[in-house]
């Protein structure tokens, strides 16, 4: 990469990152001007969601650079990675909840299976659409541009994970209603989100690099929003004691985070091995 192109890339990345960090607060300001909006579904929240995506598209139009956009599914030879993306969150949920039940620190309420499955399916569809905007921002623009700068893998994970987490700042501090913060403060949720999303980013970055497509990341993110989130956060079918929630929550607990980190490292090892094999051929 020549010096001029590298400078342009850094400038575009800076514009993107500043937009990401400001988008939520622009949404908060918009909501302060508007009244009588439905809670959890305001215009400000909509702007917060789509602004990074729109700016990433604009930057690609300006730079005429679509090579690493990741819009092609690239299904050939990658079914295993789509299957992996589909199963990661359910797998971690089963492991952590099983441990919780063994130690008697979780409770499963009675539920109607058809109603639950219907809710999960509808949630998956809705979150698939929502996560198109998210994943084509993080894995469709931010990640490939960090890769293009030839950054160390760990810098890519940390930078992309932190930017992803800090994009949620307005969401945690303003948009989310108080009922989500009975056992944790808004600031602590943001801080824990930074740790969690840096660990998650390894999985997402590596799935993108293995497939050269954003779509398995969209699927994986939709399943995260539709399976453990529905079971634990939305419906409360699975409840954990306050002390065990820190360790065994299937989304943000210590055990789950370690598992996500381990899965990401395994995916990285596989990807590096594949790249070396291609290089030696």
Q: What is the DSSP letter of 151?
A: -
- How many separate domains does the chain show? 1
Residue 100 inside a domain? The answer is: yes
Using DSSP's 3-state secondary structure scheme, residue 41 falls into: coil
Residue 33 inside a domain? The answer is: no
196: nearest Cα among 126, 133, 259, 268: 259
pLDDT digits (tens, 9 = 90+) for 222-258: 999 999 999 998 999 999 998 899 999 999 999 999 9
What is the distance between the alpha carbons of residues 7 and 5, in angstroms, rounded to a whole number?
5
Residue 35 neighbours by CB under 8 Å, 6+ apart? none
What is the distance between the alpha carbons of residues 43 and 130, in angstroms, rounded to a whole number?
14
The band of 278, judged by pLDDT with boundaries at 50, 70 and 90, is confident
What is the distance between the alpha carbons of residues 261 and 267, in angstroms, rounded to a whole number?
10
Residue 189 inside a domain? The answer is: yes
Question: Cα separations (Å) of 251 from 140, 149, 276?
Answer: 24, 31, 33
For residue 227, the tally of other CB atoms under 10 A from its CB is 20
Residue 271 inside a domain? The answer is: yes
The upper half-sphere exposure of residue 49, i.e. CA atoms within 13 Å in the direction of its Cβ, equals 14
Residue 103 inside a domain? The answer is: yes
Residue 139 inside a domain? The answer is: yes
pTM of the model: 0.96
CB 219 within 8 A of CB 124: no
Q: What is the pLDDT of residue 280?
A: 80
pLDDT digits (tens, 9 = 90+) for 168-218: 999 999 999 888 888 889 999 999 999 999 999 999 999 999 999 999 999
212: nearest Cα among 276, 121, 147: 147
What integer is the mean pLDDT of 134-139? 98
For residue 165, the tally of other CB atoms under 10 A from its CB is 21
Minimum mean pLDDT range among 70-79, 125-134, 164-173, 271-280: 271-280
Q: What is the pLDDT of residue 255?
A: 98
Please say whether the dihedral angle defined by the alpha carbons of residues 68, 197, 223 and 120, taken in this order, is positive or negative.
Answer: negative
Residue 36 inside a domain? The answer is: no
Residue 81 inside a domain? The answer is: yes
Per the structure, the complete domain to which residue 267 belongs is given by 72-280
Place of tokens 């501090």: 173
* Mean pLDDT computed over every residue of the chain: 96
């Amino acid at each position: 990469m020549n010096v001029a192109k590298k400078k342009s890339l850094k400038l575009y990345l800076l514009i993107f990152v500043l937009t990401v960090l400001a988008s939520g607060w622009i949404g908060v300001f918009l909501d302060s001007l508007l009244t009588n909006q439905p809670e959890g579904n305001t215009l400000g929240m909509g702007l917060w969601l789509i602004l990074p995506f729109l700016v990433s598209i604009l930057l690609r139009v300006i730079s005429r650079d679509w090579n690493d956009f990741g819009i092609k599914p690239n299904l050939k030879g990658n079914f295993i990675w789509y299957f992996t993306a589909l199963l990661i969150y359910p797998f971690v949920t089963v492991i952590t909840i099983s441990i919780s039940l063994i130690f008697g620190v979780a409770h499963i309420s009675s539920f109607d299976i058809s109603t639950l499955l219907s809710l999960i399916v509808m949630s998956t569809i809705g979150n698939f659409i929502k996560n198109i905007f998210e994943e084509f921002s993080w894995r469709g623009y931010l990640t490939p541009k960090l890769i293009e700068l030839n950054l160390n893998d760990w810098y890519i994970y940390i930078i992309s994970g932190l930017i992803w987490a800090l994009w949620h700042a307005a969401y945690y501090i303003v948009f989310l209603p108080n009922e989500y913060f009975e056992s944790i403060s808004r600031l602590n949720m943001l801080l824990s989100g930074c740790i969690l999303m840096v660990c998650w980013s390894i999985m997402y970055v590596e799935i993108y690099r293995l497939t050269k497509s954003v779509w398995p990341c969209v699927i994986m993110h939709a399943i995260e929003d539709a399976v453990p989130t529905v079971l634990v956060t939305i419906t409360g079918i699975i409840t954990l004691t306050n002390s065990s929630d820190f360790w065994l929550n299937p989304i943000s607990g210590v055990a789950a985070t370690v598992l996500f980190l381990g899965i990401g490292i395994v995916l990285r090892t596989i990807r590096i091995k594949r790249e070396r094999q291609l290089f030696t051929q």
